Amino acid sequence: MSLVIDSVRKRFSAYPALEGVSFTAPQGAFVALLGPSGSGKTTLLRILGGLEFPDDGSIRFADVNWLAVPTRERRAGFVFQHYALFRHMSVAQNIAFGLSIRPRRERPSRTEIERRVAELLALVRLDGLGRRYPSQLSGGQRQRVALARALAIEPRVLLLDEPFGALDAKVRKELRGWLRALHGRLGITSIFVTHDQDEAFALADLVAVMNKGRIEQYGSPAEVRNSPATPFVRDFLGMNASELPNPGIRPAQVRLDTVRNRNSSKEFGS
Amino acid sequence: MRARRPTEDHPATRALFVGATMALIIASLVMPLAMVFAQALAQGVAVALRSVESRDALAAIRLTLVTAAIAVPLNMLFGIAASWAITKHDFRGKSVLLSLIDLPFSVSPVIAGLLYVLIFGMQGWLGPWLRDHDIKIIFALPGIVLATIFVTFPFVARELIPLMVDQGRQEEEAAISLGASGWQTFLRVTLPNIRWGLLYGVLLCNARAMGEFGAVSVVSGHIRGLTNTMPLAVEALYNDYEFVGAFAVAALLALLAIVTLGAKALLEWHYAGELAAAHRH
């Protein structure tokens, strides 16, 4: 049941995002995609989650052609960097979403869904907050709701995009240890994207260091740290997180809006 | 006396601007509106009611309501489809589509009406074919509906596009990765997120659909009791020196608009908390 990624390529109109990426994530492993912004790590994660399609290459999961599985049937638990919680739904409704939309014969009963939601709320340590709305939660709490929502569908793989990127340092450290323990308990193959080497080394079983759409080195944290395979890896590890180019903005998120009209949305009571 | 904050203007300046705005609104909006009602009721309520109950007036009211009932839902569907396509997908010609949506704002409604006459009228491109097949568009309900749709085209889309751009695609992506179909995603994620903007757009669209004069005037043919909408009936009555009747129908039209605005204000007030929560995210 390992995830085998072979020669995956992806080009966006302006620039190549992935130039032939290959690696294998063994069953149950916690893999970090580590690299500076623009190195293609989020693109790779989105391809695994079915949110982008590669131009070339293959991905096999448990010997199934993963790319032939439609996004909605992949059961890939995707945790977005900015959580993407459904803002008009309560926390409980958010978590229940993946179960409640199933066709009638596969859908658990109402009480069963409630039980599962309560279980997941306890798992992410948000007991009693099921009736709140996302806007009433702190960043760390939203993050855990997003995780619980992804776990509700009993995902085959867990994909986390900068899981702690939007949190402050203290919460980040706390959640890090907690996530590591949770991963150990659930045993789901998990892949997460980060630009922070401390985070990658602290959490992951295997680290893939990425640069300009390629994997520079793939190995255990100790291997990567002790014997950098390329000059890039050595340089990258030599830098402190604070010296890295600002990781908060990535090309895919930059939009030049000509249609945006603040007034008209404000008129409607913002 | 309370100290003035450094960023605050002098009270006299403030009073000047507030006063000028209020004066302008009263002179150009409130007074004419009050005049409409005053004129309508000049000879008493009974006379006003009787003129609204005349056969021609009732026909005009019915035509206006039918036109809005067809044009508004169609434009709602179109507006949702267009803004969904524009904000959630990338495709060639997106900016062209955006400008086309705005076209009715920049083209005079009269020109729009004339275009329909040129296409569907007796001497128009499709005129002979339509006549042979016994289909009447110009000087009939279909033409009036078409003209109304053209004029009210942008209202819903213009309201939704900025809202949907603001919200991005992430929630839809999350829904699909959780196993939702495209339709489920739309119904359970996209639509609830835009419902207030949608409602607002539909109300504006409706107000304009009922009040449109120019484009409808060209294609309607002004047949009394048949193709006169309320705004056209007002003009016809006025030209016949039937002032009470003209103002009575005008007052009714104004009343419909006021009810629309009232409904919007009520909804905003009633759901203020939910609105704020949705925007704060």
Q: Is the pLDDT of residue A181 over 90?
A: no
Tell me the per-residue pLDDT of A197-220, one tens digit each, with 9 for 90 and over. Answer: 989 998 999 999 999 999 999 999
Q: Tally Cβ neighbours within 10 Å of residue A108.
A: 14
pLDDT at A267 over 70: no
- For residue A187, the distance in angstroms to the closest alpha carbon of chain B comes to 20
| pLDDT at A250 (0 to 100) | 53
Q: Report the DSSP beta bridge partners of residue A77.
A: A158
pLDDT higher for B132 or A107? A107
Instruction: Enumerate the residues of chain B whose CB falls inside 8 A of the CB of residue A71.
Output: 176-177
pLDDT at position B97 is 87
Confirm whether the ipTM is greater than 0.90: no
The pLDDT > 70 percentage for chain A reads 88
User: Model confidence over B33-67: pLDDT tens digits?
Assistant: 888 888 888 888 888 888 888 888 889 899 999 99
B106: tokens are 């920049």
Give the model's pLDDT for residue B176: 94
Residue A241, pLDDT above cutoff 60: no
Residue-wise DSSP of B92-138:
TTHHHHHHHHHHHHHS-HHHHHHHHHHHHSTTSTTHHHHHHTT---T
The model's confidence at residue A242, banded by pLDDT at 50, 70 and 90, is: very low
For the cut 50, the answer to whether the pLDDT of residue A266 exceeds it is no
Dump pLDDT digits (tens) for B83-97: 988 888 888 888 888
A52: nearest CA in chain B?
Answer: B173
How close is the nearest chain A Cα to the Cα of B46, in Å? 40
Summarize pLDDT for A7-36 with one digit per residue, the tens. 999 998 777 789 999 999 999 999 999 999
Pick B272's closest partner by Cβ from A135, A259, A269.
A269
User: Across residues A120-126, what is the average pLDDT?
Assistant: 91
- What integer is the mean pLDDT of B177-201? 91
Cα–Cα distance measured from residue A168 to residue A165, given in angstroms and rounded to the nearest whole number: 8
What is the C-alpha to C-alpha distance for residues B51 and B40, in angstroms, rounded to an integer?
Answer: 10
Q: In what order do the strands lie in the sheet with A76-79?
A: A76-79, A157-161, A189-194, A30-34, A206-211, A214-219
**Banded model confidence at residue B281, pLDDT cuts 50, 70, 90:** very low
Instruction: Quote the pLDDT of residue B273.
Output: 58
- Phi then psi for residue A26, to 5 deg, are -65, 155
Residues of B in contact with A87 (CB under 8 A): 171, 193, 277-278, 281
Three-state DSSP at B179 gives: coil
B191 and chain A: CB distance < 8 Å anywhere?
Answer: no
Helix B94-106 and helix B141-152: axis angle, to 10°?
Answer: 110
Q: Looking at residue A166, what is its pLDDT?
A: 73
Asked whether residue A54 carries a pLDDT value surpassing 90, the answer given is yes
Token output for A192: 């997460």
Q: How many A/B residue pairs have CB atoms within 8 Å?
A: 112
Q: Write down the pLDDT at residue B275.
A: 58
Sort out which chain A residues have CB atoms less than 8 A from B175's CB and list them: 86, 97, 101
Contact at CB, B181 and A87, closer than 8 angstroms: no
B179/A75 Cβ within 8 A: yes
